[in-house]
A and B are shown apart, each in its own frame.
Chain A
């Protein structure tokens, strides 16, 4: 007899609008924080000890915030909104002001990807006004490093992730026709292309240590693929979901489990090695937009947060014993 699925640890209310994106920041000094971006342009900074929003930042002129990322070791927050802008916030010492902004021109929903190569230099990949194009810029000076575009007509750029390999930065992007493409950023060329889905790729995540990635789309298949030494993408395994539609997928840092946010209001947890279904976390009453794993150093404290269209953020502790 399998045990019943766990209940959420706590639920964060008060967002005031649909919650689109989440980001944990728990390994620094000070309290554990969770950043959430809502559909009305509010960025809430939740204190996970008091479970109350420490601060609320109004941003992007009331337009929806679709992506947040905090830089390590400096109280800097980067947000992407639907006002075609990227804002850089300085949150140190109680401030909450925009120090820098970049006009991307992108009207889509594709989230950016950040890569901190050294503490000084950070690369940011963002979508542009051309639907299929990715632009990689260096953050301090906003100088463009390169633009990446597929040769074939693959439709709109849907999602991407950039990471550092030995040869340089590597970017993986998912497109509207279901293809996943691996780019070599430094040489501005394509490594390989894989038709992972028949429907648009809604989300993807890559486990850099194991060189394995997963992509979810608007159909009911969750597909995992591997990157071999020649930088070729190959299909690895897949699992069929009960209900179609995955808006976000995340692999936990220790590489044990994978969480997906579903359009059927459920968060599903799978084993990362073989995509074995492990749990279905049912709580939300509307579709789940984003999932995120916390970066606690201490394993028993690890958390999983899910942000949903019903304006709630649920925080769970699952498979967190080491």
Chain B
């Protein structure tokens, strides 16, 4: 026990004695804390051998030697005690150096224990002796560095059954309380629990606790997305590891969990959570139900979903995965020459066939351009705005409705006067239009037409849309469409360069000739006069951007203020603050965007004030997307409101606002909310510092 460690300690001590004249006391805790002690004394002049990156691997190799000698001694019949090593290992891991130690230890131990059962017993005994308070860090570090459930099983044995602390860490803490670990750790852990009959009850216990967490609706609302992903992975892995009899036992519970959990998740505003719910529901149903009645959802697969689905496949528990990397390279190298030869063969045969066919074709007759050849349609697209409106309103002919919808945007933008006459009516028709004939691109066409309407005849259409947003008997989809159209048209109105629509120039009304001549004429005269009088020293490299009046500034108020009016009035079909939190979240995002686009408008300060009042009322909403919207709107206000008015308006609420933002930045469970709150704080502080700076007094 002491002899080996003593030898090691004195060699190290002598090293120190040689380099420095400091004496230090030999204590039992010296080996594990040696790097910190030397760095504390020697500061920047610490020799490399005492840095953690080098010291701890050295310690690990020494531990290994010692364990080998222990094994040898045991074979010879001697008794050995591993208490000191266990304490040493525990203390090192508790300080946080587990990765250095285990990176060296674990591969060797893994290969040794594969062949020799004596090694297995030695390691298991060692792990049993680790002190309680260090158990968590040791086990976490060990599993993190091990590859495969079989290796964990060899090294840890039935530690999870015998040791209470280990059981707590493995079945509860690693699965439900922490979520930063990679997927392979979960795979090793759960595979380890599944391998032995004594440990399988624990696997079932883990499954039950994970199920309960997964279907808990408040957990979905208050935990962040990453943790929910981790728990979903754990659930899928557990289910994949169960055999049929165990599934039958736990069937009721799993079914209840699946139904409840999927329902809660589908109600969420965040798409990632919805997709997770769908994938897990499908996988569970696949295992539980008969092939005819399995749950099937429709979603776009992405990397996360593919990873989740792959967890359901059976996990190899043999050592095959360790030897896989070496074999894989052989296989791929063998496959490559074969595939190359087959590729070349197919290429030559194809080129042979191509040359044959080319000789046959009449290459002396070149085809003409046939792009004008199209399928003949029975009806022609409308050429007037009123025709278009009439077709959309009352036609039963699918082709005519489709052609009208496709022609709508172009017609509306080109014929400004005609559009202005029928704008509100057209908007009403489009808002109530449904996709009766499964037209391709229906949503996009309808949205573009509505944006064209709003941009061409802004005031009446915006008034109509904002009133309709709060009216009775609209579906959620229609209300969201209203918000999207408002946002898109505000974006278009605030763009300074209108090069997108230069193709469809509005047909200008025929103006009296002398009038137009005067206006353009004097501008030209003044321009030429200025040009002739200025002396250019150097030619400017960039083109001067022509100034265009901001079309959005004059109407910005009519976009925002009506939307803020009736939010707390709950109606039969629309409860903004209650169940329809999806619309509330989108409304907040839209308001933030509208605020941001009004950055140089004269009405920006009033808008900002009104928006902050509105946001103040909903800032503690339970839904994550609503809170994200709140943060976004607050940041938009800080960005676009002129900073002097910001200070005067917020002066009484300033401390409260700062405190609230700081609280969200620290304590909110959603990462996006936190980062947005931090940005809001930074913007607010920047404004404050610029405003509160005392101006330089000129003497």
A contact residues around B18 at 8 Å (CB): none
A278, B376: Cβ atoms closer than 8 Å: no
Say yes or no: A280-B373 contact (C-beta < 8 A), given A273-B360, A274-B360.
yes
A4, B361: Cβ atoms closer than 8 Å: no
Interface string of B360-383 (1 = CB under 8 A from A): 111001111110111110000000
For A257, give its contact among B365, B366, B372 (CB under 8 Å): B365
Interface string of A262-280 (1 = CB under 8 A from B): 0011100001111011111
B366, A273: Cβ atoms closer than 8 Å: no
Shortest CB-to-CB span from B169 to chain A, Å, is 69
B368, A274: Cβ atoms closer than 8 Å: no
Shortest CB-to-CB span from A159 to chain B, Å, is 23
Shortest CB-to-CB span from B75 to chain A, Å, is 83
For A2, give its contact among B362, B366, B376 (CB under 8 Å): B366
A contact residues around B374 at 8 Å (CB): 242
Say whether A256 faces chain B, with CB atoms less than 8 Å apart: yes
A276, B361: Cβ atoms closer than 8 Å: yes
Say yes or no: A277-B361 contact (C-beta < 8 A), given A243-B376, A266-B373, A282-B372.
no
B contact residues around A265 at 8 Å (CB): 376
Q: Is the interface of B mostly helix, strand, loop or mixed?
A: loop
Interface string of A236-275 (1 = CB under 8 A from B): 0000001100000000000011000000111000011110
Residue of B nearest to A271 (CB): B362
Shortest CB-to-CB span from B442 to chain A, Å, is 25
Say whether A14 faces chain B, with CB atoms less than 8 Å apart: no
Say yes or no: A256-B362 contact (C-beta < 8 A), given A242-B374, A243-B375, A264-B376.
yes
Residue of A nearest to B370 (CB): A280
Residue of A nearest to B374 (CB): A242
Instruction: List CB contacts (< 8 Å) of B359-417 with chain A.
Output: 360-362, 365-370, 372-376
A4, B369: Cβ atoms closer than 8 Å: yes
For B372, give its contact among A276, A280, A319 (CB under 8 Å): A280
B368, A3: Cβ atoms closer than 8 Å: yes
A278, B368: Cβ atoms closer than 8 Å: yes
Say yes or no: A278-B367 contact (C-beta < 8 A), given A242-B375, A243-B376, A264-B376.
yes
A contact residues around B361 at 8 Å (CB): 271, 273-274, 276
A contact residues around B366 at 8 Å (CB): 2
Say whether A5 faces chain B, with CB atoms less than 8 Å apart: yes
The CA-CA distance from A279 to B366 in the complex, in Å, is 9
The CA-CA distance from A132 to B365 in the complex, in Å, is 40
B362, A5: Cβ atoms closer than 8 Å: no
A contact residues around B375 at 8 Å (CB): 242-243
Instruction: List CB contacts (< 8 Å) of A274-307 with chain B.
Output: 274, 276-280, 282
Shortest CB-to-CB span from B134 to chain A, Å, is 77
B contact residues around A266 at 8 Å (CB): 373
Shortest CB-to-CB span from B65 to chain A, Å, is 79
B370, A276: Cβ atoms closer than 8 Å: no
Shortest CB-to-CB span from A296 to chain B, Å, is 19
B contact residues around A276 at 8 Å (CB): 361-362, 365, 367
For A5, give its contact among B360, B365, B370, B376 (CB under 8 Å): B370
Shortest CB-to-CB span from B371 to chain A, Å, is 8
Residue of A nearest to B357 (CB): A274
Say whether A6 faces chain B, with CB atoms less than 8 Å apart: yes
A contact residues around B360 at 8 Å (CB): 273-274
A278, B373: Cβ atoms closer than 8 Å: no
B369, A242: Cβ atoms closer than 8 Å: no
B contact residues around A5 at 8 Å (CB): 368-370, 372
A contact residues around B362 at 8 Å (CB): 256, 271-274, 276
The CA-CA distance from A277 to B366 in the complex, in Å, is 10
A contact residues around B365 at 8 Å (CB): 256-257, 271, 276, 278, 319
Residue of B nearest to A269 (CB): B368
A242, B373: Cβ atoms closer than 8 Å: yes
Shortest CB-to-CB span from B151 to chain A, Å, is 62
The CA-CA distance from A3 to B371 in the complex, in Å, is 11
Instruction: List CB contacts (< 8 Å) of A185-199 with chain B.
Output: none
Shortest CB-to-CB span from B364 to chain A, Å, is 9
Which of B366, B368, B375 is packed against the most chain A CB atoms within 10 Å? B368
B contact residues around A280 at 8 Å (CB): 368, 370, 372-373
Shortest CB-to-CB span from B492 to chain A, Å, is 35
The CA-CA distance from A76 to B374 in the complex, in Å, is 42
Residue of B nearest to A1 (CB): B369
Shortest CB-to-CB span from A306 to chain B, Å, is 16
Interface string of B519-544 (1 = CB under 8 A from A): 00000000000000000000000000
Shortest CB-to-CB span from A245 to chain B, Å, is 10
B373, A2: Cβ atoms closer than 8 Å: no
Shortest CB-to-CB span from A160 to chain B, Å, is 28
Shortest CB-to-CB span from A7 to chain B, Å, is 12
B contact residues around A277 at 8 Å (CB): 367, 370
A contact residues around B372 at 8 Å (CB): 5, 280, 282
The CA-CA distance from A280 to B375 in the complex, in Å, is 13
Shortest CB-to-CB span from A142 to chain B, Å, is 44
The CA-CA distance from A3 to B451 in the complex, in Å, is 39
B contact residues around A2 at 8 Å (CB): 366-370
A4, B367: Cβ atoms closer than 8 Å: no
Interface string of A95-114 (1 = CB under 8 A from B): 00000000000000000000
The CA-CA distance from A274 to B367 in the complex, in Å, is 13
B contact residues around A1 at 8 Å (CB): 369
Residue of B nearest to A244 (CB): B376
Shortest CB-to-CB span from A244 to chain B, Å, is 9
The CA-CA distance from A266 to B369 in the complex, in Å, is 14
The CA-CA distance from A6 to B366 in the complex, in Å, is 13
A contact residues around B369 at 8 Å (CB): 1-5
The CA-CA distance from A5 to B366 in the complex, in Å, is 11
The CA-CA distance from A148 to B693 in the complex, in Å, is 109
B contact residues around A4 at 8 Å (CB): 368-369
The CA-CA distance from A272 to B362 in the complex, in Å, is 9
Residue of B nearest to A264 (CB): B376
The CA-CA distance from A280 to B366 in the complex, in Å, is 13
The CA-CA distance from A180 to B374 in the complex, in Å, is 30
Residue of B nearest to A262 (CB): B376
B contact residues around A257 at 8 Å (CB): 365
Shortest CB-to-CB span from A239 to chain B, Å, is 12
Instruction: List CB contacts (< 8 Å) of A1-54 with chain B.
Output: 1-6
Which of A4, A256, A280 is packed against the most chain B CB atoms within 10 Å? A280
Interface string of B188-209 (1 = CB under 8 A from A): 0000000000000000000000
The CA-CA distance from A277 to B373 in the complex, in Å, is 11
Shortest CB-to-CB span from A310 to chain B, Å, is 15
The CA-CA distance from A257 to B374 in the complex, in Å, is 22
12 contacts between A and B (CB under 8 A): A1-B369, A4-B369, A6-B368, A242-B374, A273-B361, A273-B362, A276-B365, A277-B367, A278-B365, A279-B367, A280-B368, A280-B372
4 further A-B pairs in the complex, CB-CB below 8 A; given A5-B372, A242-B375, A279-B368: A4-B369, A5-B370, A276-B362, A278-B367
Top-4 shortest CB links A-B: A2-B369, A279-B368, A280-B373, A5-B368
